[in-house]
Amino acid sequence: MRQVDILIVGGGSAGMAAAAAAHEHGAKDILILERSDRLGGILCQCIHNGFGLHRYQEELTGPEYARRNIDVIRERKIPYSLNTFVLDITPEKVATIMDPEHGLQKIQAKAIILAMGCRERPRGALMIPGTRPAGVITAGAAQKYLNLEGYLPGKRVVILGSGDIGLIMARQFVMEGIQVQEVVELMPYSSGLTRNISQCLNDFNIPLRFSSTVIEIKGQKRVSSVVVAQVDADRRPIPGTEREIACDTLLISAGLIPENELSKAAGVRMTPSTKGAVVDDHLQTSVPGIFACGNVLHVHDLVDNVSMESEAVGRNAARYVSGQLADSEFAACIPVVEGRGVGGLVPQYICRTEEPEPLKLMFRPRGVYQNAAICVLADGSCVARKKSLVLTPGEMCEIELDRKMVTDAIQVCVEIQ
């Protein structure tokens, strides 16, 4: 059985940032496992710009952002294995892997960093009735076909869901000569960033219909049309609002799900709030020595934030293998509770330590709130407050507070002014 200090599952932006930070903080026996034939993850197919504004103070495309991370990995000679599938991880931090060159192997690690990213919700998860023709595709798959393989996925497209990938693909479709009929969103607000609504839809005169959904797909060999209806407050179709839109492609951009099958196999405690692992403020999971970061922990808006979060995890994993960071013990930690208007809160526990760094809490609002404030309550008193003109589920919120202010359970909530 091969032995390593830190095993990183996933060679995307999260895995590479964690590896570089761990190496910088003294961990030298590191191995990155990546199931595709290249490092970079989803960034390799994101040819649009907008990456790196926070981390590098310049605007990069996805491949350019990935290249900067890959160069660091190669410069520091951090080992990585491509075309490698992780089949299982045990609570004892033993990973069973498979690759074409070595076949089946087992690796014992002192610490494991989970950085597998996320996947899209497919048609089956949405339970749309109708026929099963060609032309129903997720936004990420369409992006891969168009940007990496050079295939147009269709000529007349309806997009279901206003996730960021779907919005970006709507703009790219128009630039490639594809007609985007409209974007249909189930909720009364968008799940994408405000800047993408403006730059990808409004600038290209693409209509966005809120509180609507696709209730039927028509076509035999290929999609010929979809039936769209408005929905009520309970998200049920309203009779009499149906309309048929001719199209040859239905693009699904209905949200992302963290890839947590391996996390569950390792016995990591999960939360329905983020669909990811429960973690403390070091992003250590309920299984000692197993850490999680990036989109496998909670879905981020910006890859810059993924990298910065993962750098912190890399530092903490290096501290763990050197004996400077203790095992996770949630029973002895301070719980962080979701209050009014708060969902997907990370972390869920705070360790009782004397570390000088401020605590950073992240979450997504459960609705759209105007002139609101984020408030952290401890013993009934607000110990941190951050005002905002608009809070929306499409954009992640952050608030920092002094660790010394936290002595018992705290609650994060949204206050309406």
Neighbours of 379 (CB within 10 A): 9
Burial (CB count <10 Å: 0-12, 13-18, 19+), residue 203: exposed
At residue 336, the pLDDT reads 95
Intervals of the chain under pLDDT 50: none
- Nearest CA to 397 out of 417, 367, 377, 357 is that of 367
Q: Output the CA–CA distances (angstroms, integers) from residue 198 to 9, 183, 195, 206, 371, in the order listed.
A: 36, 13, 5, 10, 21
pLDDT at 255: 82
Spatial separation of the C-alpha atoms in residues 102 and 121, rounded to whole Å: 33
- The span from the CA of 116 to the CA of 10, in Å, is 5
Q: Which amino acid is at 207?
A: P
310, 21 contact by CB (below 8 A): yes
CA-wise closest residue to 246 among 157, 320, 312, 349: 157
Question: pTM of the prediction?
Answer: 0.93
Q: How far apart are CA 12 and CA 16, in angstroms?
A: 6
Instruction: Please report the pLDDT score of residue 406 as a whole number.
Output: 84
Helices 13-24, 303-321: inter-axial angle, 10-degree rounding: 40
Q: What is the pLDDT of residue 391?
A: 92
DSSP per-residue letters across 154-182:
-SEEEEES--HHHHHHHHHHHHTT-EEEE
- Measured CA to CA, the distance from residue 113 to residue 201 in angstroms comes to 37
- Encode pLDDT of 152-204 as tens digits: 999 999 999 998 889 999 999 999 999 999 999 999 988 888 888 999 999 99
pLDDT of the residue at 190: 87
Q: Which residues pair with 365 in a beta bridge?
A: 342
Q: Provide the token pair at 179.
A: 């007609």
What is residue 189's three-state secondary structure?
A: coil
User: How does DSSP classify residue 353?
Assistant: -
